[in-house]
């Protein structure tokens, strides 16, 4: 099932603010300034930018991978790479319950991108809402998590998860 995310720029600017992801040329909409992104290198020398803030009793996390080499132009292949990365993150975060990936999410602001969303619960009973986005040059994973499964401002949650702006 394909889902289309309409351009969030106008409505998002009213609630969340736009912040750059390091010097990648990408932007995120976030409820507070994520500050400086930590930059590490993956095994293939891709730059990995991470930041996390606590806001309104929840953690808001951002992971952006700037691929060392373009990953390809086939959305299905890119989506599987994104799902593999999300599987890796589930292991890293001790996730033991997953709703299952909702795939083929479209991002109107970048026709080359494809998205995946999911809901997780980890071993400490933290509840996660995640979305991942990938195009030929970048992969982004956005997460909001905390002890409560219900985030009271669903509009801000959706704006954050669906508001990644590719270069």
**Mean pLDDT computed over 124-152:** 95
Q: How far apart are CA 157 and CA 144, in angstroms?
A: 8
Q: Which residues pair with 60 in a beta bridge?
A: 53, 144
pLDDT band at 151 (very low <50, low <70, confident <90, very high): confident
**Mean pLDDT computed over 10-24:** 76
Percent of the chain residues topping a pLDDT of 70: 92
CA distances from 155 to 22, 33, 87, 95 (A): 25, 18, 27, 25
pLDDT digit string, tens, across residues 76-89:
999 999 999 999 99
**Mean pLDDT computed over 123-147:** 97
State the DSSP H helix or E strand holding residue 107, giving kind and residue range, or none if neither. Answer: strand 102-107
pLDDT band at 15 (very low <50, low <70, confident <90, very high): confident
pLDDT at 127: 97
Higher pLDDT, 47 or 6: 47
Pick the CATH number of 3-162 from 3.40.50, 3.10.450, 3.30.200, 3.40.1000: 3.40.1000
3-state secondary structure of 158: helix
Q: The pTM is what?
A: 0.89
Boundaries of every domain in the chain: 3-162
**Mean pLDDT computed over 108-137:** 95
pLDDT digit string, tens, across residues 19-58:
999 999 999 999 999 999 999 999 999 999 999 999 999 9
């Amino acid at each position: 099932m394909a889902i289309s995310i309409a351009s969030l720029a106008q409505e998002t600017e009213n609630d969340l603010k736009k912040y750059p992801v390091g010097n990648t040329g990408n932007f995120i909409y976030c409820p507070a300034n994520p500050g400086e992104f930590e930059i590490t290198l993956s095994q293939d020398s891709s730059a990995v930018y991470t930041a996390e803030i606590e806001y309104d009793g929840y953690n808001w996390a951002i992971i952006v991978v700037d691929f060392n080499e373009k990953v390809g132009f086939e959305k299905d292949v890119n989506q599987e790479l994104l799902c593999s990365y999300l599987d890796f993150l589930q292991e890293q975060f001790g996730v033991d319950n997953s709703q299952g990936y909702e795939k083929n999410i479209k991002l109107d602001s970048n026709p080359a991108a494809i998205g995946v969303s999911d809901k997780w619960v980890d071993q400490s009973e933290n509840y996660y809402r995640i979305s991942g986005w990938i195009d030929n040059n970048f992969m982004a994973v956005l997460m909001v998590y905390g002890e409560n499964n219900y985030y009271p401002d669903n509009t801000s949650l959706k704006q954050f998860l669906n508001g990644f702006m590719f270069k």
